[in-house]
Structure 1
Amino acid sequence: MVGNSKLIENYAQIHASQAYGNTSVKNLRLIRPEIQLLRPQSIVDYGCGQSALLDRLDLGYPVEGYRYDPAIPAFAQKPDAKVDLLINVDVLEHVEESDLDEVLADMRAMCRDALIIVDTAPAKGVLPDGRNLHVTLKPHDWWRERIAQHFGPLYPVRTLRRARAGFKTWQRGPKQTLQYHLMRAREDARYYAKRVQGKHKVL
């Protein structure tokens, strides 16, 4: 396990007492086309929390999925496999700055490519010691530079809110970019159709 063990225990208590960690599912209609175009055969949701992301990913083909989160007993065992894609959504802001390089190095060692989203705004809740739940609050450019030190060149990933910084380690060519926009249009159409039918809450 990497990171501050006391801080991880604080998050474990929060997870045990309330619903927490579903931002990745809310971003699914934005990130699924990116993942489908990359076509990974194995994925780890690193810092998965209580997220159902892997259950709802639905890429249209079989994929081997792993969950890892040291604050969730059921997912606290880190997978031994090196995966094609690591997904990390709203996790790094919960890591103390002094531990970031250790966590990022751990993430890098687990994957070929990565899709990372970081929240740059304060959370609504606080830790037992009074600190904001987002213990590392930095602007987009700071995160890009820090993550790139471990992952190399990064490319933007669209997110639901401007306060979130999204990055991926692979680049789309012109043909894939056209495919991406067509796939995004289908995702949006499906999402808003379900909202009209009352199957989605307003995000």
Structure 2
Amino acid sequence: MMLISDAYREQNRALHASNEHYGTSGKAWAPKVRPLADWGRKAVLDFGCGKATLARRLGPAYQVTNYDPCIEGLDTPPPPHPVVVCGDVLEHVEPECLLAVLAELRRVTQEVGLFVVHLTAAKKTLPDGRNAHLIQEPASWWATMITSAGFVVRDQGHNEHEAWFIVRPQHD
């Protein structure tokens, strides 16, 4: 199960290294994460954490595990967590790896997840010239992909630029 190709990992590492603002959107999700994390014993996995701004915004009262397959030192596959945040990540996934990434999210999500997906083109480009958002699909498409991966969508919302989903693992 490949979550990311070696070539694309290098593209992302280069973009993270060259752009101080790439991988910093995590802090924006803190207001939605706090009530979920309080319910989930304050243990949070930031899946695709980038520069780990969510952990800094939540502060020391929360036990945040940062995971990002593109960042050395944060690329060890994590154990399951009660609360998983995956914000501004899924649209960056290589289309051929999306099902594997969703399966990995299902593996690590014990109780609840917050998934935030941008729906439109990114302002940033990869070093090879491609738009950083490799997948640009409407919210309804993402809802279908998320539910087909074994999640129940408990709440959702969207605007013209992004969609968010509060999910729980579907139990057989």
- Structure 1 length-normalised TM: 0.73
Taking the aligned partners of 2:155 and 2:121, their CA distance within structure 1 comes to: 22
Q: Is the 8 A contact 1:3 1:102 kept in 2?
A: no
Number of residue-to-residue matches in the alignment: 165
1:25 aligns to what SS in structure 2? helix
Q: How far is 1:82 from its partner?
A: 1.5
Greater share of helix: 1
> How is 1:5-16 mapped onto 2 (pairs within 5 angstroms)?
5-16=6-17
Tell me the residue number matched to 1:4.
5
Q: How far is 1:139 from its partner?
A: 0.5
Q: How far is 1:36 from its partner?
A: 4.7
Q: Is the 8 A contact 2:48 2:68 kept in 1?
A: yes
Q: Which runs of 5+ in 1 are unaligned?
A: 171-203
- Structure 2 length-normalised TM: 0.85
Taking the aligned partners of 1:110 and 1:36, their CA distance within structure 2 comes to: 15
* Shift in alpha-carbon separation, 1:145–1:103, aligned structure 2, 3 A: same
The answer on 1:91 being equivalent to 2:80 is no
Tell me the residue number matched to 1:179.
none
Q: How far is 1:37 from its partner?
A: 5.6
Q: Is the 8 A contact 1:122 1:132 kept in 2?
A: yes
Taking the aligned partners of 1:126 and 1:52, their CA distance within structure 2 comes to: 21
1:136 aligns to what SS in structure 2? coil
Q: Which runs of 5+ in 2 are unaligned?
A: none
Q: Is the 8 A contact 1:151 1:169 kept in 2?
A: no
Tell me the residue number matched to 2:124.
125
Taking the aligned partners of 2:16 and 2:56, their CA distance within structure 1 comes to: 19
Q: Deviations over 1:75-120 (max 9, x none)?
A: 11222x2110110000000012111000110111112121100000
Higher radius of gyration, 1 or 2: 1
Greater share of strand: 2
Q: How far is 1:70 from its partner?
A: 1.2
Q: Is the 8 A contact 1:125 1:133 kept in 2?
A: yes
- Taking only aligned residues, the RMSD between alpha carbons, in angstroms, comes to 2.1
